[in-house]
Amino acid sequence: MPSANSATPGGTPSHIVDLAATSLSRAIHAREVSCTEVLDAYLAQVDRLNPVVNALVAMADRNALRTQASERDAQLARGESLGPLHGFPQAPKDIMPAAGMVTTRGSPIFAGQVSATDAVVFERMRAGGALFIGRSNSPEFGLGGHTYNPVYGTTRNAHNAAVSAGGSSGGAAVAVALHMLPVADGSDMMGSLRTPAAFNNVYGLRTSFGLVPHGPTEEVFFQQFSVAGPMARNIPDLALLLSVQAGFDARLPLTRRHEDVALLGQPLERDWRGARIGWLGDLGGHLPTEPGVLATCEQALEHFRTVGCAVESVVPAFDLKQLWNAWIDLRSFSVAGANAALYRNLATHALLKPEAVWEIERGMRLTALQVYDAARVRSAWYQVLRGLFEQFDFLVLPAAQVFPFNADLDWPHEVGGRTMDTYHRWMETVVPATMAGLPALAAPAGFGPGGLPAGLQIIGPAQSDAAVLQIGHAYDQASGYARQRSPLLD
């Protein structure tokens, strides 16, 4: 069945970029539209809107891209297809390496650095037929929920260019929302797929750890926070990109084998009558929220009831201050381990932003026992949520505690009358899913009193990514929030 975001193939370039990704893939494979036409349509959309929002950076040579698109057309003429992404313009997030492309990680330390190899997820997207037209913008090292850096500048919101796009997958979210890409990859440690999805009225899936290979990196066992995943304007499109990204890779031994992810191919439609949703709200007053956020999210809960779910408020029985302290210890441990060499080098140290220095210094001060204690808290938190999933099928939280804020700020220093004691405290709502290693779908929740987007997180039990996509699809069909177009598109 065609997506509600689909349009008639062919015609003007705007018709092509308005196609849902699933419809675009079908049209390309039916040769109703050529890969060259698709490329030109998306490049025209980039030319029209990217100067306003600065979502895509380090654009590739267009003559080379058109040569690649012609090769994709020739393959189809021979009856050959590389996969669902055949002929899809894509822009890998500027955090992990992409072969032959500049990978700055948002830092002047790496400005101009061209990668020799692909991250696994990019390798799979390229092998699946994607054409890499540039990179999507990200904050320095992906740190912080606001996409700005000294290399490429600030990425602005798809619905209001005066406010933040979120981060760290801010460029990806904006490019999807403004139809500059049909779908996009992102990554998530502390909401980097979820915050920009909420801020830009699109979907972003923080996948279960190991579902999508994230790397390779120099350390493949301890790192269990950062995951790669898809962003899209609807759930079938999200599932399409995920089908290319997911699966075992021997370079990353904790990834899951193909037979373990086979459920991703099952139908998205499902009867949800009698399903139970646990609404976590502001965690019993623990999370400060901007006025209007909770009310907007609570209105969105009605769409779960529409499809037959029962919704009940619940607060986990856990010391949430202890959870936060364990989180920042484990995060600083990871950030310091990956970047301590840059800190110790005087030349590169001078180019690190203050938030990166803060994280690295915290991590370097931690003892081994402190790290172990934080991991023990994390494990106890998982068991508490596992118990809640005996009562509820899914847990739901706001995807962001604030609406998109002024793009010229570094980060919100006060939320709901409370001072934020770290540069990422305003994003605490994303920590519960990350710390428990659970799949979490950021879904549009409508627009607040000021006309800016809000989002929900739909959190499932361990390794329930397929079920999370299914409930997300039902919610999307009932709510229709994601079909509200940005005024920049008109």
Task: For the chain, 490 residues long, give each residue's pLDDT as a single digit of tens.
Answer: 333 344 444 445 789 999 999 999 999 999 999 999 999 999 999 999 999 999 999 999 999 999 999 999 999 999 999 999 999 999 999 999 999 999 999 999 999 999 999 999 999 999 999 999 999 999 999 999 999 999 999 999 999 999 999 999 999 999 999 999 999 999 999 999 999 999 999 999 999 999 999 988 899 998 889 999 999 999 999 999 999 999 999 999 999 986 556 667 789 999 999 999 999 999 999 999 999 999 999 999 999 999 999 999 999 999 999 999 999 999 999 999 999 999 999 999 999 999 999 999 999 999 999 999 999 999 999 999 999 999 999 999 999 999 999 999 999 999 999 999 999 999 999 999 999 999 999 999 999 999 999 999 999 999 999 999 999 999 999 999 999 999 999 9
Cα dihedral 250→252→256→258 (10° resolution): -40
Nearest alpha-carbon partner for 287 in 377, 196, 198, 400 = 400
State whether residue 155 is helix, strand or coil: coil
Structure tokens at 80: 């050959």
Nearest alpha-carbon partner for 393 in 235, 276, 229 = 276
Tell me, what DSSP letter sits at residue 408?
T
Residue 41 identity (one-letter amino acid): A
Q: Where are the alpha helices (DSSP H) in 30-133?
A: 35-53, 62-77, 120-127
Residue 209 CB-half CA count within 13 A? 17
Model pTM?
Answer: 0.96
| β partners of residue 276 | 310
The CA distance from 118 to 100, in Å, is 9
Within 10 Å of residue 164's Cβ, how many Cβ atoms?
Answer: 30
Sign of torsion over alpha carbons 444, 448, 451, 452: negative
| β partners of residue 203 | 232
Residue 282 CB-half CA count within 13 A? 17
Tell me, what DSSP letter sits at residue 206?
E
Structure tokens at 277: 């949703």
H or E element at residue 136:
strand 135-136
Question: Which residues in 420-449 are b (16+ Cβ under 10 Å) and which e?
Answer: beebbbbbbbbbbbbbbbbbbbbbbbbbbe
Orientation of helix 235-245 relative to helix 465-479, angle to 10°:
160
Nearest alpha-carbon partner for 202 in 164, 243, 268, 158 = 158
Residue 370 identity (one-letter amino acid): Q
Contact 135, 98 (CB under 8 A): yes
Distance of CA 153 to the CA centre of its chain: 20
